[in-house]
Amino acid sequence: MATGRIKLGMLGGGEGAFIGIAHRIAAYMGEKYELVGGAFDVDYQRGMAFAETLELNQSRVYPDVQSLIEKENELPADQRMEVVSIVTPNFLHFPMAKSLLEGGFHVICEKPMTMTVAEAEELDHLVSQTGKQFCLTHTYTGYPMVRQMKSMIASGQIGEIQRVDVQYYQGWINPVIHDTEKRKSVWRLDPAKSGISCCMGDIGLHAFNLAEYVTGSEIDQVLADLNYLYDDNTLDVDGTVLIRMGQAKGVIRSSQIATGEENNLTIQVYGKTGALKWQQEQPTVLTWLTEDQPAQILKPGNSYNSKLAMDSTKMAPGHPEGIFDAMGNLYLGLAKAIRNLPVQSGEYPTVTDGLRGMKFIEKVVLSHREDNIWITI
């Protein structure tokens, strides 16, 4: 059995890429991984130049996933990559993940996991068949106070859930969408690269995942109203989804044309005896409401938090940790699984969450196209 630092490869995440840096910092955070190579860029030469800035051995920088799998499998087991992170645009997630699992590697994959539900089902099956670990990086599940929210709901501290309200507002597509030329330059607005949805598939998906993560319940049905703004724009840039979760009802509100918004993700869960509220732009604050007490503010690193939340904090109270640390917590959870150590439920999202997410995207788009009808997930 392999020991020591887990040898990590990366697909995508090259010079100027958005999320690759979060993965690299996350990998180093717990001193459990060592980045040894990858295929970092769609342009091989650019990928080589980027790898040089990371001081990686050039012999471990590959033009594509197939050569990575072939060459890495020729190396002695103690040098070979054990796990590979996929941080490319969406359309590459499925073929890369499939090849890696079949090639004998554990996988860390960005969301959305695939382009279709059928592909997600195939990956789900492959993970069971190969016995390899699969982590889907729904980053926000790594925040200590999100984990505290999950623990408190599970232990009944707000009672039976009555309403769930998740909002994910960004504004970055606003200056892009009104210009037909600029619109063509963004891969997230290209169905061939992004999939059947832009806004809901990109950030509405995080909201969906967060709702299911903190409540520990599945969303049963959705009714969606999406906004495309222009007839020649084929992917949604804004939308509202009514949700039903057992007895509870609620809403997922998501937009990339919410002018001026940065990364305004908020979740509010209302139970029979209390409520919990969290905002990504203030991640160290969890607000707890009850009927007969003043509102309480819970913060990370304090002993009143659950084990899951405490284990997700490295610093003493009052030393804010953020998005890199949240991603790092997912990497830490996966490292335990790779090294066959005990993993608590909720330490990292899996292929099952990826499949749930793809069902959400498909049903939301279908609901909108069918003139806003309720659809069962």
Ligand X SMILES: NC(=O)c1ccc[n+]([C@@H]2O[C@H](COP(=O)([O-])OP(=O)(O)OC[C@H]3O[C@@H](n4cnc5c(N)ncnc54)[C@H](O)[C@@H]3O)[C@@H](O)[C@H]2O)c1
Question: Which spans of this chain sit near ligand X (rule: CB under 6 A)?
Answer: 11-14, 17-20, 39, 41-42, 87-90, 92, 110-111, 137, 139, 202
The answer to whether the beta carbons of residues 67 and 36 sit under 8 Å apart is no
Nearer to ligand X, 170 or 306 (CB): 170
Nearest residue to ligand X on Cβ basis: 12
Using the minimum distance from each CB to ligand X, give the nearer residue, 40 or 270: 40
Q: Which is nearer to ligand X, 110 or 124 (CB)?
A: 110
Q: DSSP state, 248?
A: E
The CA–CA distances, whole Å, from 89 to 92, 255, 368 equal 6, 20, 25
> Minimum distance between the CB of residue 14 and ligand X, rounded to whole angstroms?
3
* E-state strands within 40-97: 83-87
Measured distance CA(97)–CA(99) in Å, rounded: 6
Tell me the closest approach of the beta carbon of residue 63 to ligand X, in angstroms. 8
**Smallest separation (angstroms) from ligand X to the CB of 201:** 8
CB nearer to ligand X: pick between 47 and 271? 47
- Which residue number, 63 or 159, has a Cβ lying nearer to ligand X? 63
Which residue, 194 or 305, has its beta carbon nearer to ligand X? Answer: 194
Least separation, in Å, of the C-beta of 114 and ligand X?
11
- CB of 22: closest distance to ligand X in angstroms? 7
Helix (H, G, I), strand (E, B) or coil at 349: coil
Residue 20: CB minimum distance to ligand X, A: 6
Local structure of residue 190 (DSSP, 8 states)? -
Choose among 298, 306, 268, 29: nearest CA to 147. 306
Q: 245 or 252: whose CB is closer to ligand X?
A: 252
CB of 135 to ligand X, least distance (A): 11
d(CA 349, CA 331): 10
Cβ-Cβ contacts under 8 Å for 231 (sequence gap 6 or more): none
Q: What is the DSSP string of 110-157?
A: PSS--SSHHHHHHHHHHHHHH---EEE--GGGGSHHHHHHHHHHHTTT
